[in-house]
Amino acid sequence: MDSRLPRLRWLGHATVLIEDRGTTVLTDPVLTSRVAHLRRRRGGVPAGVGVHDPDVVLLSHLHADHTHLPSLRMLDEQSPIVVPRGAPDAVRALRRLGNELIEVSPGDEVRIGSLTIHAVPADHDGRRWRHGERSVPALGYLIAGDAVTYFAGDTDVYDDLHDWVHDVDLALLPVGGWGPTLGHGHMDPERAAVAAGVVGARCSVPIHFGTLWPIGFGRVRPTMFDDPGAEFVRQARSHGLMAVELQPGEELL
């Protein structure tokens, strides 16, 4: 594996623990066995060094499987949380966490330890609830240290993606979801492989699949749960791109 890549552990869904230059970053933490009607069907509940006390937490958008309040309450209050601008007004419980909240918009930069975090756009619904009125822009993040890592959050490919994200060392790309269908603002494995090419990723890891699934839906289109990671790797490699599938809890070394 390329020595420039950061140390990374995929904890399932969109939760990734990244270490670069000795600074740890935790994305969209889901640290429980349940999220509302969704059950963790693969991998154990995340644990281990750095999971509950990272140097910084990144939240991509307000959906409950990304801004999961029970998991955020499990974190050390010394860990600052970077959120889309307006998130604390849309989800007031964020203000009661005790953690510093750093609000950002696309184009903003935040320095955390030895890393620089750049906020970039995402093409995804920014509301907390499907029929809610409050909305804030969904984000992705570039994490710049010895490597440049792109955490896409939840997104589809958008027209000026390459203008915001290019020549990255590692791309963490959503390739599925948590149910038998995918709506607007998501990527399937084929679209995610296109995104890997657009951003010029030297290596890509699929996320946002094969972890959470609705209770009672185990036999409904199981390929949507089981197959997206391997299919993404196949699609990416067919375009001459490097891609690695991890299992929940597995490290990219």
pLDDT in tens, 155-177: 999 999 999 999 999 999 999 97
Q: Kindly state the tokens that stand for 219.
A: 């036999």
Q: What is the model's pLDDT at position 84?
A: 98
Q: What is the model's pLDDT at position 1?
A: 56
Domains of the chain by start residue, with CATH: 7-245 (3.60.15.10)
Strand order in the sheet with 251-252: 101-104, 81-84, 56-58, 23-27, 16-20, 7-10, 251-252
Q: Kindly state the tokens that stand for 170.
A: 């590692």
Q: What is the model's pLDDT at position 96?
A: 97
Give the residue from 209, 239, 204 showing the smallest Cα distance to 223.
209
d(CA 170, CA 144): 11
Give the residue from 158, 164, 156 showing the smallest Cα distance to 200.
164
Facing residues of 127 across strands? 135
d(CA 215, CA 36): 10
- pLDDT, greater one: 74 or 226: 74
Q: What is the model's pLDDT at position 133?
A: 65
The overall pTM is greater than 0.85 = yes
